[in-house]
Structure 1
Amino acid sequence: MPTTRRDFLKTSVLASSLLFVPKFLHALDRQELAALRDANGRRLVVVQLGGGNDGLNTIIPYRDDLYYKARPTLGIRPQSGILTLNKDLGLNPAMTRLKGLYDQGQVAVLNSVGYPNPDRSHFRSMDIWQSGSAAEEYLTTGWLGRYLDSSCPTCPLPYNGLEVDDTLSLAMKGAARKGLALKNPEKFHQLTQNRFLSQVSRQTAPAGGSELDYLYKTLAETASSADYLYQKSKVYQSATAYPNTEFGKSLKTTAELINSGVGSRVFYVSLAGFDTHVRQQEQQGKLLGDLSEGLGSFVEDLRKSGELDNTLILVFSEFGRRVEQNASNGTDHGTANNVLLLGGGLRRQGILNAAPDLQNLDQGDLKHQLDFRRIYATILHDWLGADDRAILGSSFERLSGLV
């Protein structure tokens, strides 16, 4: 029985998820692929720490008595193995590999990053960070999606922005273009063989401009991307040891795609579990260990292949935690937080601004020193060569000489 227009529209939700594609659409015009920017160009890898990582127990103000007064049992003492960065700040003891990268000049730390009128909701604050909006502004596109929209003319296909996950975050969604979400290139390719949608593959694509044209084009791009990524993923198999965690696997997949020559400008990975209201030390310590080990392996992998100098890694969380510990030996939702930058192309390394000011709080929360959109503007303009003002909708002072 032939597939009708109504039937096809009913399946559009599958197309919009960018997970299932029919076989007939592998014949994408290869001239689009030829227009892709050389994979040796600069790329950005974003690492999202979901749940609100406690920045004060990540980059520890171990010389500040107010820190220990606010956290009599949760504060990490120097004798616990704090990894000293300078005379005031040190890394969590679980982050030994990150300390090694810091000592090699491949890490920059930005303290007290946030935005005016901060929101303590996970969902809203993450939307703000992912969209690059103000607290009172609601956007339906992400800052990286808008980069693909307006500042990447050679990025017409979904895989020009890749999120190593099952779903695509707001950050990667533009008005006209959006990235592609996948956890494994081989499994993603297998999904293109979906039997139900293969019935659609035998139908003739509609002529003329309509929503069907858009859906067919989306399917075509996704099918071609799935095939391209699968074939590329065979080129390089990493010999670097990664942590046997979901985060470690995501970074390994990212490194393999980069080292295989995949022409993506932006990659996005996540590590969740940082909502540490109860018994924080054990939980956060394990997660920060996973982060440190994963990033250590990832940097090692890229260094071996000569791709580290072309890669900038941004690590952020949607907010920090309150300065005082709670009654459950954890911390509640706070505001400003630290942001990490890693890469071989950093022009400024180490601690780049003042430590958090624990004497000057806003109702028990840190006041932000640095608007996160200044970091975005710097990355967009100075690293990716994009029009930061057009993408962010306003002009933010860039951080001089960072990348």
Structure 2
Amino acid sequence: MKRRDFLKTTGVASMTMLLPNFLKALEFSPSLKGHKKLVIIQLSGGNDGLNTVIPYENDLYYKNRPTLGIGKNEVLKITDELGLHPSMKGMEKLFEKGYVSILNNIGYPNPNRSHFRAMDIWHTASDSDKYLDSGWLGRYLDSNCQSSHEVLEIDTTLSLALKGDAKNALALKNPNSLYQLTKEHYFDSLLRNTSDEMLSEDNLGYLYKTLVETKSSAKYIFNTSKTYESKTEFPKTDIGQKLETTAELINSGLDTSVYYVSTTGFDTHAFQQKQQEKLLGNYSDAMLSFVEELKKGNNFKDTLIVTFSEFGRRLAENGSRGTDHGTAGPMFVISENLSKNGIFNEAPDLVNLDGNKDIKYHLDFRQVYATVLDKWLKVDSSKILNNNFQHLDFI
């Protein structure tokens, strides 16, 4: 078995694999202020974009959604044509301050409507007919970072997006839990009892290096993050608590460039109205708190936030007062210094649909990735995305 395959199938798949000198713990650089941070937020399940960014002046929207269509008097109107779901008052406030750019009709050629395959495509930045083992942020980690903690997922498991060809990012729910885990007796025992003969074996040697760096990273993250505590009240929800942890890590000065957060529940095949209302409200409220906290730490100006879902939903509602898997949908880009805020591009075309009566994509999601990599993180996107994609001018 190859080293990379071995580590991806073990319980330490969320840890990196390279260490300059694995016979002692790594010493990391002091905490940093002012470096660029990227926060990716994943709305898992295929969020219904048409009831998120609502074309409230389009009669076809209401014709196809006789029970699910959001009434004109309920929509949070942000233009003469489009409005936000009424539960998204936090996002409306950010929009009014000029902090939001809404990118409509995001997708890719030959879309896939399977959750697993569609998410793999977004995670790996591959064509729909190509299969990759590494994610786009994992490849960023491979080529531009020294240590696993420079790319973090705020969760207990690691997404494919953050798994590289040479090393993986680190997943943690909170710094203290990870740190305490590395202090367990079996962890130190394994490190002490690893012999030179074992280290010469390909897989075991790499596993040992992974454990050593994880222990060092956990200590660094814990010691750095404990210097700062959030000053903002966050919602007591999954997304709220994850974003509070993220804000504390950023404001503590951790030298992490990329944070990844996901929240689930957006697969709304039945009785969508209440479910999506709650989910979008949770996301919107948490995002408002997140921005407020970053501003208190003077870090919002150096942070770019990008929100996506693996696909949108069908134009027409189904017979269960829900919506089925579709294709293109909106993305939210949030920052203090956007070069183009507001509605970035045209509203969804509800007349010229594809052969499955779904919305056609107008912008490739990899254009967003390329823009973020080249213009925000200042790295060569072509080497990470394995292709050249045209930039978009939101930053």
The alpha carbon displacement at 1:347 in A equals 1.4
- The reply on whether 1:95 has 2:88 as its aligned counterpart is yes
The equivalent residue for 2:208 is 216
**Mapped pair 1:76 → 2:76:** no
Deviations 1:184-212 (A, max 9, x none): 11111111123333322322552657333
- What is the distance in 1 between the residues matched to 2:274 and 2:283? 14
After superposition, the CA RMSD in angstroms is 1.9
Letter in 1 for 2:48: D
Check if 1:292 corresponds to 2:304: no
Assess if the C-alpha contact under 8 Å between 2:153 and 2:169 holds in 1. Answer: yes
The partner residue of 1:122 within 101, 112, 115 is 115
Gap regions ≥5 residues in structure 2: 1-5, 17-21
SS of 1:111's partner is strand
- Mapped to 2, the partners of 1:191 and 1:126 lie a distance apart of 30
Please report the TM-score for the alignment, with normalisation by the length of structure 1: 0.91
- SS of 1:16 mapped into structure 2: coil
What's the CA shift string for 1:111-152, capped at 9, x where partnerless? Answer: 0100011000000000000110110010111111111112x1
Query: Equivalent pairs: percent with the same residue?
Result: 50
Please give the alpha-carbon distance, in whole angstroms, between the structure 2 residues aligned to 1:38 and 1:119: 41
Question: Hey, what's the Cα distance between the residues in 1 that align with 2:280 and 2:192?
Answer: 50
- Aligned-partner Cα distance in 2 for 1:195–1:37: 29
What does 1:129-140 align with in structure 2 at a 5 Å threshold?
129-140=122-133
Pairs within 5 Å for 1:162-181: 162-181=152-171
Partner of 2:374: 381
| Correspondence for 1:29 among 22, 26, 31 | 26
Q: How far off is 1:78 after superposition? A: 1.2
Helix, strand or coil at the partner of 1:137: coil
1:110 maps to what in 2?
103
Residue number in structure 2 paired with 1:228: 220
Report the 3-state secondary structure (helix = DSSP H, G, I; strand = E; otherwise coil) of the residue aligned with 1:332: coil
Residue from 275, 279, 298 that aligns with 1:306:
298
The alignment status of 1:193 with 2:183, answered yes or no, reads yes
1:84-105: CA deviation from partner (whole Å, max 9, x where unpaired): 1111100000000100000000
1:43 is aligned with what amino acid? K
Paired amino acid for 2:120: D
Question: What residue in structure 2 maps to residue 6 of structure 1?
Answer: none
Amino acid corresponding to residue 43 of structure 2 in structure 1: L
Classify the secondary structure of the residue corresponding to 1:397. coil
Give the number of aligned pairs: 381
Asked whether the 8 Å contact 1:319–1:335 carries over to 2, the reply is yes
**Could you say what secondary structure the match of 2:254 adopts?**
coil
Do 2:15 and 2:168's aligned partners in 1 also have CA atoms closer than 8 Å? no
Separation of aligned partners in 2, 1:379 and 1:13: 31
Question: Could you tell me whether the CA contact under 8 Å between 2:26 and 2:213 is conserved in 1?
Answer: no
Judged with a 3 Å threshold, the aligned counterparts in structure 2 of structure 1 residues 111 and 15 are, in CA distance, closer, same or farther, namely closer
Q: CA deviation at 1:17?
A: 4.8
* Superposition TM-score, scaled by structure 2 size: 0.93
Equivalent AA in structure 2 for residue 47 of structure 1: I
Deviation at 1:265, TM superposition (A): 0.4
Who is 2:19 aligned against? none
Preserved CA contact (<8 Å) 2:31 2:254 = no
Q: State the partner residue of 2:386.
A: 393
8 Å CA contact 1:185, 1:226 repeated in 2: yes
Q: Secondary structure at the match of 1:381?
A: helix
Q: Does 1:372 align with 2:372?
A: no
- Counterpart code for 1:334: G
Matched, 1:56 2:50: yes
Residues 250-306 of structure 1: per-residue CA shift (max 9 Å, x gap): 000000000001110000001110000011010000000000000000000001111
Q: Which amino acid is the alignment partner of residue 282 of structure 1?
A: K
